[in-house]
Amino acid sequence: TQLLEQSPQFLSIQEGENLTVYCNSSSVFSSLQWYRQEPGEGPVLLVTVVTGGEVKKLKRLTFQFGDARKDSSLHITAAQPGDTGLYLCAGEGPNSGGSNYKLTFGKGTLLTVNP
């Protein structure tokens, strides 16, 4: 069962454009994380959002956690070719409990920023 739906799955844009990636679920997560992964490498954590309604900014990246902690979005302003990569959202839980902090990953959004 796919618990986290990410959209769009593929996105190809020109340098300078803005974009938004969505991560939606019917389940509540205790926290949600966004990762960026380059080909042939492991994912790198960008941000963790914990509180419903939380907004975090990382330079040109803005992350938002839905009020109900079921969805999240990643907005990139003035995209650059260096932003190219696979963006993954991952929710902790919803049934993990305990101390395992198991993550459920979305399918990912493959972003290509053309110069």
Q: Which positions lie near another protein, rule CB under 8 A?
A: 31, 35, 40-45, 48, 86, 88, 90, 92, 99-108, 110
Tokens for 82? 């260096």
Instruction: Report the residue number, 72 or 104, with the smaller CB distance to another protein.
Output: 104
Give the number of other CB atoms < 10 A from CB of residue 67: 11
**Which residue(s) pair with 35 in the sheet?**
45, 88
Are 74 and 62 in contact by the 8 Å Cβ rule? The answer is: yes
Min CB(18)–another protein separation in Å: 24
Shortest Cβ distance from residue 78 to another protein (Å)?
Answer: 26
Which lies closer to another protein via its Cβ, residue 76 or residue 103?
Answer: 103
Cβ distance to another protein smaller for residue 12 or 18: 12
Structure tokens at 88: 């993954």
Distance of closest approach, residue 105 Cβ to another protein, in angstroms: 5
CB neighbours (10 Å) of residue 90? 20
